């Protein structure tokens, strides 16, 4: 019987900080849940990480740790292609080509560029500016059907569409136009100390960011201290506008337990935040425990991790090269 070709899915994370509950619930958890249905490509976006200055040792450590975390979160390297972005040279090469098909005005409008340049005023480098063109290259090289990302990356995937359509408009159907996939629950996890700001890994020393590798007692402390709102209601009710802290905790609880907001409201009816916060902390600790333990186990086996990323790069490079060759031919580069 003819085997049906699986749809392809691709995504990446910058190893610019230790992985947080935000990147887990917004991204990796959803990847793992679909790993069986799709032909999946996942990478550590180290080329993207250096748009902000990195300590070299930390970047290396985090890249390997992120790979171990991908596997520990359920991405089986036998079934998914897991690789380091800088190991597949086609990303940088297509990135350059797509720089030439991305407009200054478009890149200037990216909210992440505006945010990051405000935060890194002493290092507003060209890479930070052209980053979405590299991200478009990451995606388009693999001709994926679906790109699962959190809310904050949706704008970059939309720009990928614009760039791909522009290129296809000139040269014919070179790139498949992928769909972003943003999860219903968990697409934007907020900081526990400032529920109006995104939980971010670059500010991972911050008490508002829950790290996947943190010990349970640290996570429990963070949840017990989570900022709930200064309303007098003291009641677990989902109201994102007026009770962003409680809403964020409910989102986290919903994502790790699978319960709906209605069910959570019912479970905690008549109980205040003091009861709710440690229960959420407990649920997160138990959810993350196997991931943390498996990551620690995998990190002891460097030879295995090396074999995974080497095989991953080989497979990714094979697929990426096909697209790159087509692009080079279309734009008029002389064949080697
Ligand atoms: P990055 O590394 O900032 O984040 C990785 C993924 O995690 C999601 N995420 C969140 N989701 C919910 N709540 C949060 N607080 C939260 N923080 C992060 C992000 O939306 C993202 O899906 N440019 C990308 C990496 C990248 C990429 C790609 C992604 C490079 N090339 C190609 C997809 C396809 C980035 O910086 O994500």
Percent of the chain with pLDDT over 70: 97
Range of 272's domain? 216-297
One domain, residues 175 and 73: yes
How many Å apart are CA 46 and CA 12, to the nearest integer? 10
Q: What pLDDT score was predicted for residue 205?
A: 62
Residue with CA at minimum distance from ligand 1 atom 4: 13
Sheet architecture: strand order including 179-181: 80-84, 39-44, 8-13, 146-148, 179-181
Residue in 135, 131, 145, 232 with CA at minimum distance from that of residue 181? 145
| Over residues 296-301, mean pLDDT | 98
Distance 24 CA to ligand 1 centre (A): 10
Cα angle, residue 34 at apex, residues 28 and 38 outer, rounded to 5°: 120
274 lies in the same domain as 169: no
Domain membership flag for residue 198: no
What integer best gives the mean pLDDT of the chain? 94
Do 173 and 311 share a domain, yes or no?
yes
CA–CA distance, 186 with 336 (Å, rounded to integer): 47
Distances (CA, A) of 185 to 60, 150, 247: 31, 10, 11
Asked whether residue 284 is assigned to any structural domain, the reply reads yes
The DSSP secondary-structure symbol of 197 reads S
117 and 252 together in one domain: no
> Does some domain include residue 119?
yes
Average pLDDT over residues 11-22: 95
Going from the Cα of 150 to the center of ligand 1, the distance in angstroms, rounded, reads 6
> Which atom number of ligand 1 is nearest to the Cα of residue 134?
31
Helices 126-140 and 111-119 cross at an angle (nearest 10°) of 140
Q: What CATH number did the domain enclosing 69 receive?
A: 3.40.50.620
Spatial separation of the C-alpha atoms in residues 42 and 31, rounded to whole Å: 9
Q: Residue 3 and residue 143: Cα distance in Å, rounded?
A: 19
> Is 90 exceeded by the pLDDT of residue 233?
no
Within a domain: residue 209? no
- Shared domain for 231 and 145, answered yes or no, is no
Enter the tokens of residue 109.
């409008």
pLDDT at residue 4 is higher than 90: no
**pLDDT at res. 34:** 86
Q: Are residues 319 and 277 in the same domain?
A: no
Q: Does residue 204 lie in a domain region?
A: no
Q: For ligand 1, which residues put their CB under 6 angstroms from it?
A: 11-14, 22-23, 25-27, 45, 48, 135, 138-139, 147, 149-150, 152-153, 156, 186-189, 198-199
User: In Å, how far from its chain's centre is CA 127?
Assistant: 19
Determine the straight-line distance between the first and last CA of the chain, rounded to whole angstroms: 40
Nearest atom, ligand 1, residue 48 CA: 30
Mutate to test the pocket of ligand 1, among 27, 52, 199, 256 (most ligand atoms within 8 A of CB): 27
* Residue 150 and residue 273 in one domain: no
User: Active-site residue numbers?
Assistant: 116, 198, 201
Cα dist from 207 to 20, 39, 220, whole Å: 11, 37, 11
- What burial class does residue 43 get, using C-beta atoms within 10 Å of its C-beta: 0-12 exposed, 13-18 middle, 19+ buried? buried
Report if residue 13 sits inside a domain.
yes
Instruction: Give pTM, 2 decimals.
Output: 0.95
Residue 1 lies in a domain: no
Using most ligand atoms within 8 A of CB, pick from 10, 15, 26, 75 the residue to mutate for ligand 1: 26
Number of domains in the chain: 2
Residues 61 and 178 in one domain: yes
In a domain, 201, yes or no: no
State the distance from the centre of ligand 1 to the C-alpha of 14, rounded, in angstroms: 7
Across the range 137-155, mean pLDDT stands at 95
Which pLDDT value is given to residue 203? 55
Q: What is the pLDDT of residue 277?
A: 96
pLDDT, tens digit (0-9, with 9 covering 90-100), for 45-62: 999 999 999 999 999 999
The pLDDT tens digits for 147-196 are 999 999 999 999 999 999 999 999 999 999 998 889 888 889 999 999 99
pLDDT greater than 60 at residue 2: no
- 123 and 247 part of one domain: no
pLDDT in tens, 58-88: 999 999 999 999 999 999 999 999 999 999 9
84 beta partners? 44
- The whole-angstrom separation of Cα 75 and Cα 306 is 16
What is the whole-number distance in angstroms between the Cα of residue 312 and the centre of ligand 1? 20
Confidence (pLDDT) at 232? 72
User: Distance from the CA of 152 to the center of ligand 1, in angstroms?
Assistant: 7
Work out the pLDDT band at 1, boundaries 50, 70, 90: very low
Q: What is the CATH number of the domain that holds 289?
A: 1.10.240.10
DSSP class of residue 31 equals H
The predicted model gives 104-129 an average pLDDT of 94
In three-state form (DSSP H/G/I as H, E/B as E, the rest C), the secondary structure along 218-287 is HHHHHHHCCCCCCCCCCCCCCCCCCCHHHHHHHHHHHHHHCCCHHHHHHHCCCCCHHHHHHHHHHHHHHH
Pocket residue to mutate for ligand 1, from 29, 45, 136, 247, most atoms within 8 A of Cβ:
45
Is the same domain home to 158 and 90? yes
Q: Please indicate, yes or no, whether residues 54 and 119 belong to a single structural domain of this protein.
A: yes
Contacts of 213 (CB under 8 A, 6+ apart): 18, 19, 65, 292, 295, 296
- Secondary structure (3-state) at 13: strand
Same domain, 119 and 234: no
Ligand 1 atom with least separation from CA of 156: 23
Residue 94 pLDDT greater than 70, yes or no:
yes
């Amino acid at each position: 019987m003819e085997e049906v070709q699986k749809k392809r899915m691709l995504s990446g994370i910058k190893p610019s900080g230790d992985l947080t509950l935000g990147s887990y619930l917004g991204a990796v958890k959803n990847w793992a849940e679909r790993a069986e249905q799709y032909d999946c490509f996942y990478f550590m976006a180290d080329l993207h990480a250096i748009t902000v200055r990195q300590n070299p040792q930390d970047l290396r450590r985090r890249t390997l740790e992120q790979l171990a975390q991908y596997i520990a979160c359920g991405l089986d390297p036998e079934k998914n292609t897991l690789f380091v972005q800088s190991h597949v040279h086609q990303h940088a090469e297509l990135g350059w080509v797509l720089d030439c098909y991305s407009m200054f005005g478009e890149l200037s409008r990216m909210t992440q560029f505006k945010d990051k340049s405000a935060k890194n005023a002493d290092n507003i480098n060209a890479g930070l500016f052209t980053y979405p063109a590299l991200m478009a290259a990451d995606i388009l090289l693999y001709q994926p059907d679906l790109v699962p990302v959190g809310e904050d990356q949706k704008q970059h995937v939309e720009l990928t569409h614009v760039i791909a359509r522009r290129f296809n408009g000139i040269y014919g159907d070179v790139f498949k136009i992928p769909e972003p996939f943003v999860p219903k629950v968990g697409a934007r996890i907020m900081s526990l100390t400032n529920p109006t700001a995104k939980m971010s890994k670059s500010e991972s020393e911050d008490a508002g960011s829950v790290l996947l590798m943190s010990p349970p007692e640290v996570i429990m402390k963070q949840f017990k201290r989570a900022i709930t709102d200064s309303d007098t209601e003291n009641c677990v009710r989902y109201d994102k506008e007026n009770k962003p802290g409680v809403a964020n905790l409910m989102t986290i609880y919903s994502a790790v337990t699978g319960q709906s907001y209605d069910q959570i409201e019912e479970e905690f009816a008549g109980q205040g935040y003091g009861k709710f916060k440690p229960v959420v902390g407990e649920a997160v600790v138990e959810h993350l425990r196997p991931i943390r333990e498996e990551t620690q186990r995998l990190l002891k086996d460097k030879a295995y991790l090396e074999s995974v990323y080497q095989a991953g790069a080989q497979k990714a490079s094979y697929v990426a090269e096909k697209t790159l060759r087509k692009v080079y031919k279309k734009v008029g580069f002389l064949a080697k």
